[in-house]
């Protein structure tokens, strides 16, 4: 029995190994490359079962057992914007959608400092707990959050008294081999290590049986889900929090009327979008960019739209609109009020990504080091060559609306 740890940062991989029963197992480690877009020299060398988890974004760690991925881990220390809890959500979703349990380490609160004001705590957006719970409800696979250790609970009303001023009031492991990893003695991390051990013990005992299906009935995960539900209830004051406050629901008929100019005798919009009577629109008041909107879009899919395992199984269409959608009830249509983003912003990002493709080369023009990468692109086309925000936008959005043009899927 052999375990392999795919990592983005080796010191964090060592931190996980040395604090769990992986330390007693037959293990090896390998560097994990995020995508063909950002590491064309090495990404194609990753095994196919790892690539499949990276189709939206890359977690910090993937652990496999006998070439079968058994869990992933994502760690973040950022908590300074309300959207930021969702910044890694697509990575978690991609893992769980491939039946791989996902662990998320994220601060309960971190310090923000501004000129002429005392430091204060910026607290977690509690909707992340509901989003993860909705993912688990659909896939029956753990997607659990553990707090990155901080001084928040010791000094909830006096951030300036925290002893970890230089680290945004977060608590890091002081051992030099695990630089920038969470403090390992914190109860949240001990709980996570126990959950990881639960997975390892389960897979070794029930390898022939469907061990994944049993995980959420294990006491370790039942208790964690209870804690997450409690945290959501205690921290939540209104379900209408960001990013939900940036959405509106309209009849799908209004969208279809808006897009009717694209139809003619040779083309009609197909039935997937028409099959849902209502549509959720996520309105983005910003220039076209990558952060934080694609990750919030992914979360909104599970918070508001998804009923089963694919985008086809949505109760509502999910639309990304670059800014305000004006509803015209008299004409049963809409308009877009924006001059910040254009379809050209999107297509230029796609074109830039396509520069990573080598499928237009003749075989004789390929370097030896490019042959296997070429073959990967033949199989997956530009799936891994596009930058990640384009991958996420095109994966989750049924429609993307700009003030000048639109994109949509037929199936």
Query: What pLDDT score does 38 carry?
Result: 87
Query: What pLDDT score does 239 carry?
Result: 64
**What strands, in cross-sheet order, belong to the sheet with 399-401?**
247-251, 278-283, 317-321, 399-401, 406-408
pLDDT below 70 — which residues of the chain?
Answer: 79-83, 116, 159, 162, 165-168, 208-209, 237-240
Query: What pLDDT score does 79 carry?
Result: 59
Query: What pLDDT score does 80 carry?
Result: 54
How far lies 43's CA from each of 148, 264, 385, in Å? 29, 42, 10
Residues 6+ apart with CB under 8 A from 306: 134, 138, 313, 314, 315
- Residue-wise pLDDT tens digits, 287-305: 898 778 999 999 999 999 9
How far lies 378's CA from each of 39, 43, 382, in Å? 18, 15, 9
Task: Return phi, psi of residue 87, to 5°.
Answer: -60, -30
């Amino acid at each position: 029995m052999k375990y392999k740890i795919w990592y983005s940062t080796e010191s964090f991989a060592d931190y996980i190994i040395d604090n769990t029963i992986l330390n007693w197992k037959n293990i090896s480690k390998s560097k994990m490359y995020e995508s063909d877009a950002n590491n064309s020299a090495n990404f194609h060398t990753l095994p196919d079962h790892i690539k499949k988890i990276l189709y939206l974004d890359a977690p910090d760690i993937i652990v496999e057992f006998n070439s079968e991925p058994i869990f992933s881990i994502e760690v973040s220390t950022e908590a300074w914007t309300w959207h930021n809890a969702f910044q890694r959500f697509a990575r978690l979703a991609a893992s769980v959608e491939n039946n791989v349990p996902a662990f998320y380490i994220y601060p309960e609160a971190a310090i923000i400092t501004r000129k002429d004001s005392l430091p204060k705590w910026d607290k977690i957006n509690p909707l992340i707990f509901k989003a993860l719970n909705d993912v688990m409800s659909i896939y029956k696979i753990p997607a659990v959050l553990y707090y990155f250790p901080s001084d928040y609970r010791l000094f909830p009303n006096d951030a300036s008294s925290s002893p970890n001023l230089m680290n945004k009031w977060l608590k890091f492991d002081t051992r030099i081999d695990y630089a920038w990893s969470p403090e390992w003695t914190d109860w949240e991390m001990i709980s996570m290590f126990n959950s990881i051990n639960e997975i390892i013990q389960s897979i070794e005992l029930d390898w022939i049986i469907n061990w994944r299906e049993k995980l959420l009935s294990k006491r370790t995960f039942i208790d964690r889900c209870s804690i997450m539900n409690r945290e959501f209830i205690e921290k939540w004051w209104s379900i209408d929090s960001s990013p939900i406050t940036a959405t509106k629901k309209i009849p799908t008929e209004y969208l279809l009327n808006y897009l009717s100019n694209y139809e003619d005798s040779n083309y009609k919009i197909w039935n997937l979008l028409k099959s849902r009577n209502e549509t959720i629109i996520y309105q983005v008041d910003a220039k076209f960019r990558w952060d934080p909107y694609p990750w919030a879009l992914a979360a909104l899919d599970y918070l508001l739209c998804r009923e089963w395992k694919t985008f086809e199984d949505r109760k509502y269409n999910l639309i990304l609109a670059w800014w305000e959608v004006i509803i015209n009830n008299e004409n049963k249509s809409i308009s877009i009020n924006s001059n910040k983003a254009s379809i050209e912003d999107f297509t230029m990002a796609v074109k830039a990504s396509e520069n990573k493709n080598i499928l237009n080369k003749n075989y004789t023009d390929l370097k030896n080091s490019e042959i296997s990468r070429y073959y990967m692109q033949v199989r997956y086309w530009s799936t891994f060559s596009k930058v990640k925000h384009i991958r996420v936008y095109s994966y989750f959005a049924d429609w993307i609306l700009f003030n000048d043009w639109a994109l949509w899927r037929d199936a």
